[in-house]
Structure 1
Amino acid sequence: MNTPVRPFSPQLAILIGFVLAAALARLLPHAWNFTPVEAVALFGGAYFSQRWAAFLIPLGALLLSDLWLGFYTLMPVVYACIALSVLIGMTLRGRVGVRNVAVAGLASVLLFFVITNFAVWWFADPLISHPACQIGLTECYVAALPFLKSQLLGTAVWSVLLFGGFEWLRHQVPALRQTQTA
């Protein structure tokens, strides 16, 4: 049974370890947008039973990696999208399975794509400027398609590693088999 875990359990330490390991992986060289960020948000939403932990731990891990990588103009928009992904992850509580995680991952990535690229166009980032009209918005989305592909692949791979790894570990370690609800 896949259920969220309570604070101060062995599961909590392992969950935090998974999130931090994935966040550290963001610092390694990788293809553009092939990151664990969306998968970490979904994972946090699915497994941290306390709402504050579900948001704080994935967003905190993202912030820690951003401290190293640097801040950027659209950071508030990105963090808001990641918070929305945590909410999507919460719909997986007690229902973690390949299909559900895949659908949640797809929804999360598409939501991120639509919102962040709209923000790039709306706020006219000086590095990537598109005309303030429908054509400019379309150009912005078309220019971002290669990043969407990488983000979809990254989210899929990292979701398999996080969700699959944690569920495998739960089946291997007796102390983790105990299901706990919030």
Structure 2
Amino acid sequence: MHTTENRSALLADLALIAFLVAFVALARLLPHAWGFMPVAASALFAGRMLRNPVLAPVVPLAAMALSGLVLSGDDWRISLVTYGAITLPAFAGMATRNWRGVIGTAGTMVACSVAFFVLSNFAVWAFSGMYSHDIAGLTQCYVLALPFFQNTLIGDLFWTAVLFGGAWMIQHMPLLSRSNG
């Protein structure tokens, strides 16, 4: 009996991973405002919702890699930092699995958005050659990236609300619940 439950949990996790990866990859390929994507929100969602949360980093990494086959690439060092930074919400989701409520979830997402902004723009400053390698260049890089951060933060919070709100509705709305019928 225990093995059947484990298999069912694994299949449910794999189905959720496949859905999230496809959703994020498609969202990256469709027209969107720069930075307004569900990548970080899906990673946080996976970290919180998967029965086996260690699988959560697969979601953003697979989605980025899959959509990256079509999109033009950055310098490999910038991509490496970006890929690492985009897994942070998955780990944050694992660390905050027992937190409930909008404030804790939104706060976690904001912290992940800020971390992504800091890390990804530091990589752009360090490796792109677009900025001088001094404090003035670093400052310029962060200042010029602020409009993108605004989109990222709004997008991360929007998609977090969509994913967690959708899950809540499925779990609590009688017409959507699997237990009804």
Q: For this structure pair, what is the TM-score category when the shorter chain's length is used for normalisation?
A: 0.7 to 0.9
Matching residue of 1:80: 84
Matching residue of 1:180: none
Counterpart Cα distance in 2 of 1:15 and 1:133: 41
| TM value normalised by structure 2 | 0.83
Which ranges of structure 1 fall in alignment gaps of 5 or more residues? Answer: 177-182
Counterpart Cα distance in 1 of 2:83 and 2:179: 34
The structure whose residues are more often helix, as a share, is 2
Matching residue of 2:45: 43
Structure 2 counterparts to residues 54-133 of structure 1, below 5 A = 54-73=56-75, 74-123=78-127, 125-126=128-129, 129-133=130-134
Counterpart Cα distance in 2 of 1:156 and 1:8: 28
Number of equivalences:
168
Matching residue of 2:4: none
Matching residue of 1:8: 11
Are 2:53 and 2:94, in contact at CA under 8 Å, matched by a contact in 1? no
Aligned Cα root-mean-square deviation (Å): 2.1
Counterpart Cα distance in 1 of 2:102 and 2:140: 34
Percent identical residues: 40
Are 2:40 and 2:60, in contact at CA under 8 Å, matched by a contact in 1? no
Counterpart Cα distance in 2 of 1:22 and 1:169: 20
Which ranges of structure 2 fall in alignment gaps of 5 or more residues? Answer: 1-7
Counterpart Cα distance in 1 of 2:32 and 2:55: 28
Letter in structure 1 aligned against 2:45: F
Structure 2 counterparts to residues 163-178 of structure 1, below 5 A = 163-171=164-172, 172-174=176-178
Matching residue of 1:179: none
Structure 1 residue ranges (4+ consecutive) displaced by more than 3 angstroms after TM superposition: none
Q: Taking CA–CA contacts closer than 8 Å with sequence separation of 6 or more, which of the two structures ends up with the larger relative contact order?
A: 1
Are 1:44 and 1:58, in contact at CA under 8 Å, matched by a contact in 2? no
Are 1:7 and 1:50, in contact at CA under 8 Å, matched by a contact in 2? yes
Letter in structure 1 aligned against 2:19: G
| TM value normalised by structure 1 | 0.83
